[in-house]
Structure 1
């Protein structure tokens, strides 16, 4: 029996370009594992891991998380996916991250989403994150349930 080669893919694009939405369709259709750098960071911050605490300190200062921290976090997660097809979302973001990834594995496919700025602006202005759960909603096509919506509405009103 011949075992088919594993697929290694990356999806790239600015915030609001649809990476998460398209990734969900790809992983469902092709049976791939999805590794989102944003989801992984949020999970580590919520669990208050060493990396999560460090990442939060950068975010709270309005700074980008250094390449070595993001690279270490993502490559460590990829070790657990070595037997699976996978799709990376949000990593790599810099040349240094791409070079580090390239040293560890061969990427077969890169999907680069090219979305007009006005479309991204509309999507991001309709995006809300529920602070208590970290869930991301879009008021136009993926609105929160009424109770959560009321919490968001009150937060917006106070702002």
Structure 2
């Protein structure tokens, strides 16, 4: 009996641990490379230390978002207040934020990218600021951007 409970507990812990393992890239170059290999657009999450965490708590930390994102996008998180990032990378991320027209943090941009001859180019598909309608609305709005009809 104890052995069965331990096996069940192990199974539940493993499932829960896997369900919260989103893989956020932090390098633009790595994210673009993976995006092109897997033929998926980038979801760029622009944030900072002082930005509200509603988007993360209400959308990104859900199992529904995890399943959707694994099938549809490559996740790239650009924290504009990250002290561990070099000043060159921080400046690059701020330029990218401004080029995409991101005014308020947090905000999500969908894009495709390429690197040719050392130059990075992006094709902005759309932006999605935070709204409090939950994960289903976020996924629905994202699908409209990624699959325009």
TM-score scaled by structure 1?
Answer: 0.29
Structure having greater relative contact order (Cα 8 Å, sep ≥ 6): 1
More strand by share: 2
Normalised by the length of structure 2, the TM-score is 0.31
